[in-house]
Each structure stands twice: as C-alpha cells, then as structure tokens.
C-alpha cells in the first residue's frame, strides 16, 4: 500500500532535517522532540500533496499549510493532523455568483501520536473512529510492547463498528532517533533505510 512508502519517505525527510539541525546549538530535548514530531507530520502532508497533485478536486489539509486551503475552508487543519478530501462547489445563497467549497468525500483521516502510553494514543485514535473517511491511518511510537498496542488498536476498531479501511503504523519515537545507526551516520545512510528498518505496520 502506497501509504506506508509515504510514511517512510516522510520519516526519513524529518530525520534528515533533525540531523542537519543537530550541527547547531541544541534545543532542550523536549522541545526538539516536539519539533521532530511536528516536522514528520508536515513532511507526510507534503508527500500526500505531491501524490494527489494531479487531482484538481483533492485537498490535503494540515496545520502548517495554508495557501488555498485557508481561503477555501477558513482554516489550515480540519479535525485531524492530516485530512485528505475530495471537494465540490455550491453557489452562495445571496451572492449566487460566488462559489463555496464543501467536502464531497473524505479520503484519508490521519492522526499521529508519539506518547508512549495507550491512554494518550486512544485520545487521538478516537477521532479516527468517528471519521467517515474511506481510509484512516494512525501513527504511534515503537515501544517494548508493540504487539499489545496493535492488538489494542485492532480490538478497538472492530468493537467500534466503524466503517472504512484502517492502517496502523508504529515508527521510532523522536527521542530514539539517535539510537538508529543510520541517523548518526548522516543523510545518505538515512536515505537507504527501508520499511523493515523503521516501521511496523498492520491494516484492517
């Protein structure tokens, strides 16, 4: 599935950015981890915009991106960390020559939560359970209990009776990137990392 390749490329881009930044004055660790998490999400949004760029009626909304999205929707981020939708237009009631944008179909709802406890994960995962999106992606951190986390997310999804296709992926927590040999070696080594090196994935 293409979404895993997109996650991998986004993660590598965020890692490269963090590695290049590490040559300067270091930020407090908590600040740096938050920045790494946000950069990963925005890298993922960029890759999805590239993927859907030939589709004129598709939009990818995320916090750091405004451009046409803010004009059309009045905001950057719509409900989820990343939201991919198909749009259509309707004429305004009074100014009938003015076209307004509405969401015709929800394509992807994506949430990324790097907290290493399941309570925090479920706070964000619950957003996906109420989504009408055709596909949903939840991204969490690799831990010492990955199987249990995936089992929890799978059981919750099945019990919720939520429609749509669910994808789960676990990636290295930003605080653990220095533990990855390729990260310490630099850009070329990071670029050579594969899905099997970095990601655990599952779908329902």
CA angle 38, 127, 125 (to 5 degrees): 70
Q: What is the pLDDT of residues 22-70, one digit of tens each?
A: 877 788 999 999 999 999 999 999 999 999 988 889 999 998 766 677 7
SS3 content of the chain, % helix, strand, coil (to 5): 50, 25, 30
How many Å apart are CA 10 and CA 62, to the nearest integer? 14
Dump pLDDT digits (tens) for 161-179. 888 999 999 999 999 999 9
Crossing angle for the helix pair 118-129 and 146-160, to the nearest 10 degrees: 30
Dist. CA 66–CA 79, nearest whole Å: 15
> Read out DSSP for 69-128?
HHHHHSSS--SSSEEEEEEEEEE-SSSTT-EEEEEEEEEEEEEE---SSHHHHHHHHHHH
Determine the length of the chain.
Answer: 204
Domain coordinates in residue numbering, the chain? 2-203
Q: Cα–Cα distance between 165 and 157 in angstroms, integer?
A: 10
The whole-number pLDDT of residue 65 equals: 64
* pTM score above 0.85: yes
pLDDT in tens, 116-133: 999 999 999 999 999 999
């Amino acid at each position: 599935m293409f979404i895993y390749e997109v996650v991998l490329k986004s993660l590598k881009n965020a890692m490269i950015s963090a590695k290049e930044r590490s040559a300067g004055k270091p930020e407090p660790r908590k600040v740096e981890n938050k920045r790494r998490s946000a950069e990963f999400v925005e890298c993922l949004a960029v890759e999805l915009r590239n993927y859907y760029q030939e589709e004129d009626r598709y939009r990818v909304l995320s916090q750091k991106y405004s451009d046409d999205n803010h004009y059309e929707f009045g905001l950057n981020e719509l409900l989820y960390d990343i939201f991919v939708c198909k749009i259509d237009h309707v004429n305004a009631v009074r100014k009938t020559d003015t076209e307004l944008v509405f969401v015709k179909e929800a394509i992807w709802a994506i949430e990324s939560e790097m907290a290493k406890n399941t309570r925090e994960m479920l706070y964000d995962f619950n957003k996906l359970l109420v989504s009408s999106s055709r596909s949903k992606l939840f991204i969490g951190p690799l831990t010492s209990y990955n199987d249990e986390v995936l089992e929890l997310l799978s059981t919750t999804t099945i019990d919720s009776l939520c429609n749509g296709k669910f994808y789960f992926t676990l990636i290295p927590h930003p605080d653990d990137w220095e533990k990855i040999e390729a990260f310490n070696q630099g850009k070329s080594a990071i670029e050579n990392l594969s899905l099997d090196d970095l990601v655990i994935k599952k779908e329902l």
